[in-house]
Structure 1
Amino acid sequence: MATYVLIPGADGRAWYWHRVVPMLRERGHAVIAVDLPSDNTAGLAEHVDAVIGAIGDKASAPGLVLVAQSLAGFIAPLVCERTPVEQLILVNPMIPAPGETAGEWWDNTGRAEAARAFAAEEGRDPNAGFDLVVDFFHDVPQDVTDEAMSAEASGPAEALFTEPWPLQTWPDVPTRLLQARDDRFFPLSFQRRVAAERLDGVPVEDLPGGHLVALSHPVELADLICRTEASP
């Protein structure tokens, strides 16, 4: 049995994982879904503290696995420096480089160009501005979308985007990268390139769904999370 610690992305709410949590528990695993700080001045240290606090006395439990969505790719590796972790699973992640801020990551990786190219491939307007529904919720069930939209507005702390990522190397923890094939924000081909550049030797395991894959394809995501080894 594993203990899965689910860290949300920019939205910061444990709610993001609410469709995946019961599926992992049905498989006999312990699950901790983390709420991240809502304070706009909370930086990387405060976000790591929030994850550590949520783990609590489970820190000494065997089989601790961090599952990090999107922006949490900047946070989860720092948690690995604070507590023993058996595995780190990145989902549609931002993969940081040493000394890079989350604000710099976008231009450094060429994400915008990749997203425009993917839009053109799909027959969408590559020059259209960001649209929350089109880019994030395009494959999320309507009732789940409605619930998300009715919640109080939340978002990442500005401080997260200005602090350099402090690690010089990726933590010595077995790492997997799960990427949704229909992610319009971080296209699959883009993630394969960035992973090759920044996570040498870590394969990209793909699954159906868009950027909010825990909301749109929770069954497939839970199945893939529970695999003990990366797909060939």
Structure 2
Amino acid sequence: FGGFTAPLVCDRVAVELLVLVAPMIPAPAEAPADYWAHTRYEEEERDRYDDAIALFYQDVPPELAAEALKRGRAQSEARMGEPSPLRAWPDVPTQVLICRDDRLFPTGFLRRVAQERLGIPPDEIDGGHTPALSRPHELVDRLEAYAAEQGLRTPTPMHRGALS
């Protein structure tokens, strides 16, 4: 649900670039519970998975996937029906990065939603829904490239050893 939070942060702090990774992309004032119907998610051709590892972590090393599940918490449903306070997408350069093997949000679905809601074509990388766990080096490379394209300097150099 980071896509529902990130644009709100842009109105509260100085942001030079917004990157949405494997995201939900909300419409202004949309309630999270309405996202699925509004984006026609159920019409999307996709396989169904009842197992969290098969859905979210299929390409994550098994021991890391098990640790992610162990540390995970259930998401609160308390405010899912409330409209988002987002009134308009922030005036911040935005990139959408989707994962070619994402089982939750298939590429065709996210390509369509990114185009319909933001008017931008998403970029793609290999991997499933959690590239920070399955492909951290590729994700960091892409994020650093986005920053460089905007003329931004990363605050501290990313070190490969820190991601291993």
TM over 0.5: yes
Measured after TM superposition, the shift of residue 150 of structure 1 is: 2.8
Q: What's the CA shift for 1:129? A: 4.9
The percent identity for this pair of structures is 47
Residue 83 of structure 2 aligns with which residue? Answer: 164
Shift of 1:189: 0.8
Q: Give 1:1-232 correspondences, 5 Å limit.
A: 71-114=1-44, 117-119=45-47, 128-151=48-71, 153-200=72-119, 202-227=120-145, 228-229=148-149
Quote the offset at 1:146 in angstroms: 2.0
Query: Quick one: which amino acid aligns to residue 199 of structure 1?
Result: L
- Rounded to whole Å, the distance in 2 between the matches of 1:135 and 1:112 is 16
Structure 1: stretches of 5+ with no match in the other structure: 1-70, 120-127
How many residues are treated as equivalent by the alignment? 148
| Cα-to-partner distance string for 1:1-55 (whole Å, 9 max, x where unaligned) | xxxxxxxxxxxxxxxxxxxxxxxxxxxxxxxxxxxxxxxxxxxxxxxxxxxxxxx
User: How far did residue 118 of structure 1 move?
Assistant: 3.0
Query: Does the residue aligned with 1:90 lie in a helix, a strand or coil?
Result: strand
Relative to structure 1, the CA distance from residue 159 to residue 229 in structure 2 (aligned partners, 3 Å threshold; closer, same or farther) is farther
Deviation at 1:213, TM superposition (A): 1.4
Cα distance in 1, alignment partners of residues 10 and 75 from structure 2: 21
Q: Distance in 2 between matches of 1:222 and 1:157?
A: 29
Deviation at 1:110, TM superposition (A): 1.9
The residue identity in structure 1 corresponding to 2:67 is E
* Aligned equivalents of 1:157, 1:135: Cα separation in 2: 20
**Closer/same/farther in 2, CA of residues 219 and 166 from structure 1, 3 Å limit:** same
Q: Cα deviations across residues 95-152 of structure 1 (Å, max 9, x unaligned)?
A: 00112111110111122332xx233xxxxxxxx453212111111111101212333x
Q: Aligned equivalents of 2:33 and 2:21: distance in 1?
A: 19
> Which stretches of structure 1, 4 residues or longer, exceed 3 Å deviation after superposition?
none
Query: TM-score, normalised to structure 2's length?
Result: 0.84
| Greater fraction strand | 1
Measure the CA separation in 1 of the matches of 2:137 and 2:39.
30
CA distance in 2: counterparts of 1:106 and 1:213, whole angstroms:
22
Tell me the CA shift for residue 88 of structure 1: 0.5
SS of the counterpart of 2:149? coil
Q: CA RMSD in A?
A: 1.6
Q: Which runs of 5+ in 2 are unaligned?
A: 151-164
